[in-house]
Amino acid sequence: MHFQKEPYSQAKLVRVIKGEIQDIAVDIRKDSPTYLQYVSVILNEENKKQLYIPRGFAHAFLVLSKEAIVCYKIDNFFNIDTYKGLRYDDPKINIKWRLNNDEIILSKKDKEFELL
């Protein structure tokens, strides 16, 4: 679950050109009435859906097809100093992923994120 802190937080518009993903956005705004709630949407080349992710949300996606091309537009520059992440399996968020934990392959960077 990736995000950037202010002043480099980002809104994103995500779509899939090829394949299929489960796209997740988690509200991480501490003053929000929906804090730590998430939305899960299937995006694929057939349904042509897009997901808008506002600033203040963490974002992750799970590739469900053999391969996928994911495209997103962002409204702010990437800044490594404000880049943060949350564990995909954090029990406080309790995301219902479409694959079992033993089927999910994470990058080294994503494995190092901590629980809330």
Q: pTM (2 decimals)?
A: 0.93
Residue 72 annotated as catalytic: yes
Residue 22 contacts residue 36 (beta carbons within 8 Å): no
Residue 83 annotated as catalytic: no
Q: Is the dihedral of CA 5, 34, 11, 48 positive or negative?
A: positive
Q: What pLDDT was estimated at residue 84? A: 96
Q: Which two tokens stand for residue 6?
A: 């202010």
C-alpha angle with apex 78: 77 to 82, nearest 5 degrees?
120
Q: From CA 52, how far away is CA 72, in angstroms rounded?
A: 10
Q: Which of 8, 35, 52, 72 is catalytic?
A: 72
Q: What digits encode the pLDDT tens for the residues 47-85?
A: 999 999 999 999 999 999 999 999 999 999 999 999 999
Classify domain 2-95 by CATH architecture: Sandwich (2.60)
